[in-house]
């Protein structure tokens, strides 16, 4: 999978504990925003992020998501992966620690473009 294809997606969702400033989800969310991407926080806690609304699910995001950065425990990630498939999202990036073989294989089976074992903050 060419990383440039991911870089060309302009609307992202970051899934994880985005509201917790100590977590990588928060850091990645802000990193992508600073790079000029439109980024939505999808935080299962529902807590806002720096005064901006977060969403508990991908379906709640009011815009078509082009790519999802998964920064969540793989056990919880399965539901988000299934939801991304239902929404027709074709670009899934699994941050290190957010993936397992089941998730990767399922994403590939869904026909998604998948990146894993790489960090957005390193590759962008």
Region 117-124: mean pLDDT is 94
Task: Give the model confidence (pLDDT) of 102-118 as tens digits.
Answer: 999 999 999 999 999 99
Q: Which residue has the tokens 């509201």?
A: 19
Task: Give the model confidence (pLDDT) of 7-30 as tens digits.
Answer: 999 999 999 999 999 999 999 999
**pTM for the complete prediction?**
0.96
Give the burial string for 83-119 (b: 16+ CB within 10 Å, else e): bbbebebbbbbbbeebbbeebbebbeebebbbbbeeb
Report whether pLDDT(39) > 70: yes
Distance CA 114, CA 107 (A): 7
What HEC string does 45-104 produce? CCCCECCECEECCHHHCCCCCCEEEEECCHHHHHHHHHHHHHCCCCEEEECCCCCCHHHH
Task: Give the model confidence (pLDDT) of 47-91 as tens digits.
Answer: 999 999 999 999 999 999 999 999 999 999 999 999 999 999 999
Q: Which residue has the tokens 């925003």?
A: 33
Query: What pLDDT score was predicted for residue 1?
Result: 58
CB atoms within 10 A of CB 48: 13
Cα–Cα distances in Å, from 52 out to 18, 49, 83, 88? Answer: 11, 5, 23, 25
Query: What pLDDT score was predicted for residue 26?
Result: 98
Q: How confident is the model at residue 2 (pLDDT cuts 50, 70, 90)?
A: confident
Region 28-56: mean pLDDT is 96
Domains and CATH numbers, the chain: 3-63+76-100+112-123 (3.40.50.720)
Whether 68 contacts 80, CB under 8 Å: yes
């Amino acid at each position: 999978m060419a990383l440039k294809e991911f870089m060309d997606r302009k609307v992202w969702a970051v899934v994880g504990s985005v509201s917790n400033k100590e977590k990588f989800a928060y850091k990645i969310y802000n990193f992508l925003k600073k790079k000029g991407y439109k980024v939505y926080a999808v935080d299962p806690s529902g807590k806002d992020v720096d005064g901006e609304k977060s969403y508990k699910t991908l379906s709640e995001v009011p815009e078509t998501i082009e790519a999802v950065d998964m920064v969540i425990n793989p056990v919880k990630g399965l539901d988000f992966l299934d939801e991304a498939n239902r929404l027709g999202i074709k670009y899934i990036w699994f941050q290190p620690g957010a993936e397992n073989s089941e998730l990767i294989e399922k994403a590939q089976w869904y026909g998604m473009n998948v990146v894993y074992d790489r960090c957005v903050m390193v590759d962008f």
